[in-house]
Amino acid sequence: MLEDAFFDAAAFHAQQAAEMALKALQIHRTGTFMKVHDVKQLATNLSAPAAVVQLSALLSPAYTGTRYPDAGGRITRRDAVDAIDAARRTVRWVESEMP
């Protein structure tokens, strides 16, 4: 999607990857998950390191901006690349927390 200039879709899927990973960790730890799309809130609730919380904060606008175009700004290639990087790093942290 990134290479075909679908930046909003690339950022949205990056956000979804991080959200699902964080929810998987939450299920692993507690048996349930929060029904929210705010990955920063999920990371905070999981006591993620500050760096992961900051990365997660970059991802929430990718959900809102693509689901509600009038609420968010235009997602650029740089935004999409940053979202993909943030999601990868968030998923790596989640993987390190699971046996």
What's the confidence (pLDDT) of residue 71? 64
What's the confidence (pLDDT) of residue 22? 98
In a domain, 55, yes or no: yes
What's the confidence (pLDDT) of residue 67? 66
What's the confidence (pLDDT) of residue 72? 62
In a domain, 72, yes or no: yes
Angle CA 75–43–30, to nearest 5: 135
Q: What is the mean pLDDT of each run of 10 residues along the chain (99 residues)?
A: 91 96 97 92 96 93 70 83 97 95
Q: Which amino acid is at 26?
A: Q
Domain that holds residue 41: 7-97
In a domain, 80, yes or no: yes
In a domain, 18, yes or no: yes
Which residues does 56 contact at the CB level (< 8 Å), separation at least 6?
A: 18, 22, 39, 40, 42, 43, 44, 48, 86, 90
In a domain, 2, yes or no: no
CATH number, domain containing residue 17: 1.20.120.330
Count structural domains, the chain: 1
The residue among 67, 66, 42 whose CA lies nearest residue 52 is 42
